[in-house]
A = this chain, B = another copy of it.
Amino acid sequence: MFFEGSEKKLEVVVKARQPSLRRFGRPFWDNMVTAANAEILSHLSNEYCDAYLLSESSLFVWDDRFLMLTCGTTTLVDSALLFIEHQGIKGVDFLIYQRKNEYHSQLQKSSLNEDLRRLRLCLPMRAYQLGHLDSHHHYLAHYDNPYQPQTADHTNELLMYHINGDVADYLRSDGQTPQGVRERLQLARLLPGFALDDFVFSPCGYSVNALRGTDYATIHITPEQNSSYVSFESNLDLGGEYRFIIDGLLEILKPHSWDTVGFNSETRVSTANQACYVEQCEVMLNCGYKVQFSHHKANNNTVLPVLSL
């Protein structure tokens, strides 16, 4: 029973005065999702955004940008190449492609280097490995093009590994309901005023997309024992006013280790967790984002699991 929860991520901003991406229509986005070997399960829309819940994670489409997250053994690089082919690189202002720390890289259909080789045939890309290869590391590649993000443009990712406790137990149990998961994740408190679109997978797993005006958030849960993973991503200011969300998720899900990735936003660990082990780094991208990556382990002197194979 293994499922790679850890996602690949693609974010693209098109140039001003391009047609709205939301007008590309459902067949176009169906094709984009199919290219990655995923499918659209449901959608939620508001004035600013169409949020699609996928069989493997999420797609958010705004007028001038889209964000696609896909987990498992999906091939998100194929969606990136399809979009570039459709739009032409001249219509693209910003493109970033990430691969988060994977549990079982050898089960993926391609490596970051292979993805990068294909992308570089179409557009100039700068690429980075953040962190040591033998520990959690994050791959990040971006279109080598000057870009000026807006002042309020910040994104935070919280990526949790090996969750523990009552909520983790519930997430692994039979008979979960969307309402049961929402309550245990305290979504009404953590994401106040957000419209939610969620899905409980069989035999386990949970995804939710959340919209509130121009704010978005998404949570994906792969609860399987010994390879559990939960990701949270949002454009809320998690370094400031919404810092309680990270503290809340860490408290509820009790991960053994977690990573944070911040784009023009500092995601600090609260004092309650200062006993944990931390490694971190940052890089200033020439496309206008300062990216901060941190890897955390909850406790020192941990007794590790011994698993029979």
Tell me, yes or no, whether A199 is within 8 Å of chain B by CB.
Answer: no
Complex interface: chain B residues within 8 A of A283 (CB)? 306
Which of B116, B131, B133, B304 contacts A103, CB < 8 Å? Answer: B133
Contact, CB under 8 Å: A131 / B279: no
Contact, CB under 8 Å: B304 / A280: yes
Complex interface: chain B residues within 8 A of A133 (CB)? 103-104, 226-227
Which of B131, B161, B297, B309 contacts A112, CB < 8 Å? Answer: B309
Interface digits, A269-309 against B, CB 8 Å rule (1 contact, 0 not)?
00000000111111100000000010101001111111111
Quick check: which of A11-19, A122-130, A205-213 contacts chain B, the rest being far away? Answer: A122-130
Contact, CB under 8 Å: B126 / A308: yes
Contact, CB under 8 Å: B130 / A304: yes
Tell me, yes or no, whether A111 is within 8 Å of chain B by CB.
Answer: yes
Contact, CB under 8 Å: B257 / A277: no
Tell me, yes or no, whether A162 is within 8 Å of chain B by CB.
Answer: yes
Complex interface: chain B residues within 8 A of A105 (CB)? 104-106
Interface digits, A100-114 against B, CB 8 Å rule (1 contact, 0 not)?
010111101001110
Contact, CB under 8 Å: B106 / A309: no
Quick check: which of A52-60, A135-143, A190-198 contacts chain B, the rest being far away? Answer: A135-143
Tell me, yes or no, whether A132 is within 8 Å of chain B by CB.
Answer: yes
Tell me, yes or no, whether A134 is within 8 Å of chain B by CB.
Answer: yes
Which of B278, B300, B305 contacts A278, CB < 8 Å? Answer: B300
Complex interface: chain B residues within 8 A of A104 (CB)? 105, 133
Contact, CB under 8 Å: A106 / B106: yes
Which of B111, B295, B297, B309 contacts A127, CB < 8 Å? Answer: B309
Complex interface: chain B residues within 8 A of A257 (CB)? 132, 134-135
Tell me, yes or no, whether A172 is within 8 Å of chain B by CB.
Answer: no
Task: Apart from A103-B134, A280-B303, list 16 A-B contacts with CB within 8 A.
Answer: A105-B105, A106-B111, A127-B309, A128-B306, A132-B162, A132-B305, A135-B136, A135-B257, A137-B304, A139-B309, A278-B300, A279-B302, A279-B304, A280-B302, A280-B304, A281-B306
Show 10 A/B contacts (Cβ-Cβ < 8 Å), sorted by A: A103-B134, A112-B309, A116-B309, A128-B306, A132-B162, A134-B161, A135-B136, A139-B309, A279-B303, A279-B304
Closest 6 CB pairs of A and B: A281-B304, A127-B309, A106-B106, A129-B307, A279-B302, A277-B277
